[in-house]
Amino acid sequence: MTVDVDVRPAVQPGAEQDRRSERGRLRALVEAPEFFAFVFLVVLGAFLAVAQSGFLLEFNLQNVGRQTSVLLVLSVGILFVLLVGGIDLSVGGMIAFASVLAAHFADQMSVVAAFAIAVAACMAIGAINGLLVGVAEFSPIVVTLAVGQVLTGVALLMTANGPIQPTNESYSGLATSLVGPIPTIFIAAIACVVVAHVILSRARLGRYVYAVGGNETAAWLAGISTARVKIAAYVICGMFAGFAGVLASSRIGSGDASLGPAEMLMAFAAVFLGGVGFGTGRGNVIGVVFGALTLGVIGNGIDLYQLDSDWQYIVSGCLIIVAIAFQVLPGRLHWRRS
């Protein structure tokens, strides 16, 4: 059945079009994954700035920066695996392992070299995760849970006589020193964030990460090696998790196998607060940064009000649910469209 019409209906020009696109832009902003974390952060920050005179003091803000650094780095790592439709539950174990490994080597060589070994080891573990998930096609939850168990076990065995305390002073220097008014550790975390953002938004790998998460079969049919993309995502996650472990270890000044589980829970909270979907290929670094900063500010607020720090878990848990409600509701209202 052919017709001799080869002109497709043109898009109507004019004012109507403009108005629609302006409304569209506003809607795109509201529906952007990072929008609600941003609103939370601004509202919370404004509230504390007014209600607590101590909040805006320089040393307090430095504290927030220090407290948020580990969280930022770890959350950004987790983002990569979530975006390819996976999950990594081994990051808790990686943090414990990296901290113990770095502390173990810190007295035998320069601190920088010890840190590098710890990060490299976690990247290798990430590669194993990636191979098992991407090539062998094992379930990511099971694989990474198991790998995390093994790592925690290794870290515990290495610290059978208690946490390892490096004698080298500069081990905790990363966490305590300042560059101008800004904590060095926070600068390191921001550097990680920038690298992750560039990879995801500008590099070809980033485009493929979103493609695989959006529709794996489609990506494969388009000629992408989905296994390689997944491996890369897990290696990057391992790198950031290892670095987060090093930072955490530097903060407490020792290698401790009990690090990890709390950091992992908070990082998942930050990621979901930042609008990252679970298995939807949706989310970005900016949202995760807002999510992590929000949690950092909440923790700080709890300190300022001298509440039990365990309240942080309850507040962040509730916030995640609120955040998800905000994300889902606009979609519900337009459910007929999709």
Partner 1 sequence: MTAAVAVNGVTKAFNGVAALIDVDFAIQPGEARGLVGENGAGKSTLINVISGALQPDAGAIEVDGQSVNLRQPNDAMLRGIGTVHQQNWLIPGFTAAQNVELGHERTRTFVKVLRRGNSPSTQEALSFVGMADRAGATVEGLSLADRQLVAIARALFHGTRLLIFDEPTAALTPIEIGYLFDVIDRLRSAGTAILYVTHRLEELPRVAEQITVMRAGRVVGQRPSSIAERELVGLMAGEEVVAQEDVAVTDRRRRTASSRALKPLLVGQDLTDDEDAFRSIDLTVHAGEVLALVGLPDSGAVELTQALAGARRLERGRILLDGQPVNTRTPQSAVRGGISYLAGDRKLKGVIPNSTVAATVTLSALHRVSRAGFVRRRRDDALARQLIEECGVKAASMTLPITALSGGNQQKALFARTLATQPRVIVCEDPTAGVDPGGREALYELLGEACAKGDAVLFSSSDLREVATLSDRALVLWRGRLVAELARDELSVARLMSGQFNQLPELKAMGSD
* Residue ranges binding partner 1 (CB under 8 A): 1-6, 8-9, 11, 198, 202-205, 207-208, 210-211, 214-215, 217-225, 281-282, 336-338
- Choose among 177, 147, 167, 159: nearest CA to 247: 177
Using alpha carbons, select from 196, 195, 194, 233 the residue that is nearest to residue 211.
Answer: 233
CB of 10 to partner 1, least distance (A): 8
Give the angle 49-51-54 at the CA atoms, nearest 5°: 60
CB of 127 to partner 1, least distance (A): 19
Q: Is 306 left (phi over 0), alpha (psi -120 to 50) or beta?
A: left
The 3-state secondary structure of 135-178, one letter per residue: HCCCCHHHHHHHHHHHHHHHHHHHCCCCCECCCCHHHCHHHHCE
User: Least distance from C-beta 7 to partner 1, angstroms?
Assistant: 9
Taking the least distance from each CB to partner 1, the nearer of 145 and 205 is 205
Measure CA of the first residue to CA of the last residue in the chain; give whole Å: 30
Give min distance, CB of 241 to partner 1, in A: 22
Q: Give least dist CB 264 to partner 1, A.
A: 27
Which residue, 17 or 110, has its beta carbon nearer to partner 1? 17
Q: Compare residues 224 and 265 and give the one whose CB is closer to partner 1.
A: 224
Which tokens is 119 given? 């990060």
Nearer to partner 1, 54 or 331 (CB): 331
Dist CA 160 CA 6 (whole Å): 77
- Provide the 8-state DSSP code for 225: -
Pick between residue 8 and residue 15 the one whose CB is nearest to partner 1: 8
**3-state secondary structure (DSSP) of residue 182:** strand
In contact, 254 and 164? CB cutoff 8 Å: yes
* Minimal distance, residue 83 CB to partner 1, in Å: 11
Nearer to partner 1, 136 or 333 (CB): 333
